[in-house]
Chain A
């Protein structure tokens, strides 16, 4: 067998696959952010906190109501979407006429409040969440052992990502949405209820975060800090992909997951900054992001 820079190919394949798994989390989260930014022009800093809430709702459903993973997969995003709708109706909608910065500051504050509240209630060590029975165990792929659950995560998030892309870029509803962001007044004149559509978009965007939270619960500890650890990377993904670009968010998420996986083999100490190095380079060369368009 040939080695790549002293790394055996089995290890390399394994790392690439793991990178893909992490990348699918990045894709799912950055997709939600991109949808919200694209349609609402809001930089949603509360995204990480809502992802955390999604995981906690799953944990609460299991421990307080005895409802397992598959229930959580459906219910938890709904709960998070409901939280999102309330936030949008009561607070965010007042800020649309102002600069982006106000939305960013508001959601950043909300994120801190949510995290603080959960930290106060549940501590920082986190809570265990079991892998559902159906997805226990794993496959031996020869070059690595792939837990079934991780395989499921990749498939589930790819399906959701592509479905979202299709809904926004290829359906009539998506066309209304895109039109509403370009010229809300005109679209409203055609008899379409734009404020409701905006609220629904925000609800959908954060529901994606809630879904990612449920998917993450059995892999990571369900902990109040889980969102903070991820959100900065996800923002970098969105910036690299181009703010508001749906396809950009998906492809960049997966690509950066792979890149991070490779870094963990060749220079592990740098694995948590490699994304930001890429971000800096992209901003210098193509400030609108890889898939974004200049406004």
Chain B
């Protein structure tokens, strides 16, 4: 009796093993690496982990018979900490996928590691175009936005309104520099000029000095090439110093819905911005966002968080289709399958790892227009994917032939 029971158990173990023999370590492990305590914690942070878990739940937390496990870590916006965490995940904990990683400096470090160790890297948070340009990787996918798409949306819209003379206030690290470059290129291409730039340290609380320099330049537009808390402080202080009232326009080159919420509509109204996602666009986005908000303490998803969901879901689809988590096979599958979910429709992934989906130009509502909590944006126009993102052939990525 005991013997047959043992035999049966052994047999079961063998067959169970066979069912997901193709999945390394019998588990698909996804590591959400982002800022969980600093200035980007609200736009990514735990919300990105929630989004990744929602994607896994859609598969019943199992793919090709192997359980899906989501782990999280805080990189504190430091590239060296991000690199150490990613290395430890890959070497000691058999993590198959690193996801999110806002802060381009951290993402560039992680891209180097995932490329060398052959692990899939799903970038939703970082904006630097280098990640799908000269630092591209066969395993790296940039999902939600990039600095070019931000410039293509907001800068183009402003220049087309006749605001051709720009001054750019830049966060002094990889992301800010890249956003400044992209915006400068776009403004010049459309016949405008950049009168000057000033670079501030990350996490500056007082912007008045930089704003005053911008004001003295007499530019039509002051572009803010920064993100998160830096942007909200700058917008708030620009209104305090009467910059917007005196006729200069302010352009948030990267503004998330969490920033608008922090500013309040009174201070943020009228700002133009580019976004890859807004929760109140159609029934699908509303349904998904409602579920998300229940899990996220009532806070609406940012485009970064929605992008994490979409990227993880697309990855899991590819694992399912290939029946394996082999990074080369999965990456190839991800590239050949169009992305179709509540975030993107029939979107294709370029040879450089860029996911091409439509972006949206939005304007922040006035307090009178807003009907309630998180009712913040008017979508002004849809920016087609081909216009929003750089042609892979011009990206400088060595994978493009």
* Chain A residues within 8 Å of B, Cβ to Cβ: 8, 10-11, 14-15, 18-19, 21-22, 119, 123-128, 130-131, 138, 144-145, 147, 149-150, 219-221, 223, 225-226, 229-230, 261, 264-265, 268-269, 271-272
Contacts and interface: CB of A to CB of B under 8 A. Distances in A.
B266 A127 contact: no
Interface of B: 37-39, 41-43, 45, 172, 198-201, 203-206, 208-210, 212-213, 215-216, 228-229, 232-233, 236-237, 240-242, 246, 258-259, 261-264, 266-267, 299
Contact of A138 (B232, B242, B264, B266): B242
A10 B213 CA distance: 10
A265 B209 contact: yes
B233 A221 contact: yes
Given A14-B216, A138-B241, A229-B203, 17 more contacts: A18-B209, A18-B212, A22-B206, A124-B37, A124-B39, A124-B45, A125-B229, A125-B262, A128-B263, A150-B240, A219-B236, A219-B240, A221-B236, A225-B39, A269-B172, A269-B199, A269-B201
A8 B246 CA distance: 21
30 contacts: A11-B212, A11-B216, A15-B212, A18-B209, A19-B209, A22-B206, A119-B37, A123-B258, A124-B37, A124-B39, A124-B41, A125-B43, A125-B232, A125-B258, A126-B232, A127-B262, A128-B264, A128-B267, A144-B212, A145-B242, A147-B242, A220-B206, A221-B262, A229-B203, A268-B199, A268-B209, A269-B199, A271-B201, A271-B204, A271-B209
A223 B241 contact: no
Contacts of A22: 206
B199 A264 contact: no
B200 A268 contact: yes
A15 B209 contact: yes
In the complex, the 7 A-B pairs of residues with the closest C-beta atoms, listed nearest first: A125-B262, A128-B264, A264-B209, A125-B42, A272-B201, A124-B41, A123-B42
A225 B229 CA distance: 10
Contacts of B37: 119, 124
B233 to A, nearest CB: 6
B181 to A, nearest CB: 17
B281 to A, nearest CB: 22
Given A14-B212, A225-B38, A128 B236 contact: yes
A123 B232 CA distance: 14
Given A8-B216, A138-B241, A124 B233 contact: no
A268 B198 contact: yes
A204 to B, nearest CB: 25
A147 B42 contact: no
Contact of B205 (A131, A138, A220): A220
B227 to A, nearest CB: 11
A72 to B, nearest CB: 17
Given A18-B209, A149-B240, A126 B229 contact: yes
B232 A264 contact: no
Given A223-B229, A271-B200, A229 B205 contact: yes
Nearest to A273: B201
Contact of B261 (A21, A125, A230, A265): A125
A98 to B, nearest CB: 31
B238 to A, nearest CB: 11
Nearest to B267: A128
Contacts of A225: 38-39, 229
A18 B208 contact: yes
A123 B204 contact: no
A128 B206 CA distance: 15
A288 to B, nearest CB: 30
Contacts of B209: 15, 18-19, 261, 264-265, 268, 271
Residue in A124, A127, A229 with the greatest tally of chain B CB atoms within 10 Å: A124
B205 A226 contact: yes
A170 B83 CA distance: 56
A11 B215 CA distance: 10
A123 B41 contact: yes
A251 to B, nearest CB: 20
